[in-house]
Amino acid sequence: MTTSIAPRAAYLSSQENLSKRLIEKYGKDRKVEFDKLNEPMIWAKSPEDAKFLFRSFMVDDVFKMDFLSDITAYDNKDHEDGDKRFVLVYQQYSTTLHVRVRIKCLLDENEEALTLSDVFNGANWLEREVFDMFGITFKGHPNMRRILMDERFTGHPLRKEYPIKQREPFKDNIAFHLGANPKSIDTHTLEGEEK
């Protein structure tokens, strides 16, 4: 553990409790690891298991993980972390105990993850970004389309095989619209207006 974080911080004792319980309750058939800040991370067995863990940590009365900090992924092309292509990472935070836990899940190239946007609204854009950058799709996501790159873009930039200087310029902007699945717009009326 680094000493750049003050040693008497109150959250550190909760972090120890959490790690202990994580190994006891959830670590029987899952791998639990600790990162350089001694924060626990748990490897989910499947995308379904990742969502199960996420929801269990939310209702667990020791963890109280009521805050989604981040959803991201990284390329596991060198198979250092397992034999599947991607690692999906969920960062959870507790606003009462101020501890973090990380859920990791291995995913194959054509494997689908489960969306968390039904649990946390904040997951919506984060999952879209993961899809944009890695090509991981999320089952049940209400609006699974690119977010940072243009909708016509090909390839997924944060995959390791994507060359850094491969640019794809577009001369024009995308057509004016209210998302892929506009909830309340009546497109029929709009078309009628133009005539």
CB 103 within 8 A of CB 44: yes
3-state SS of 126-142 is HHHHHHHHHCCCEECCC
C-alpha 147/C-alpha 71 separation (Å) is 14
Interface residues for another protein in 72-111 (CB under 8 A)? Answer: 72, 74-75, 78, 80, 89, 91, 95, 98, 100, 102
Q: What are phi and psi of 73, to 5 degrees?
A: -150, 165
The single residue among 29, 61, 193, 194 that binds another protein, judged by CB under 8 A, is: 193
CB of 3 to another protein, least distance (A): 4
Per-residue interface string for the shown chain with another protein, residues 115-154, x marking contact by CB under 8 A: -----xxx-xxx--x---x-------------xxxx----
Please tell me whether residue 24 adopts helix, strand or coil conformation: helix
Strands 138-139 and 113-114: parallel
Q: Which residues bind another protein (CB under 8 A)?
A: 2-6, 8-9, 11, 35-37, 39, 66-70, 72, 74-75, 78, 80, 89, 91, 95, 98, 100, 102, 120-122, 124-126, 129, 133, 147-150, 157-158, 162, 164, 176-179, 182-186, 189-190, 193
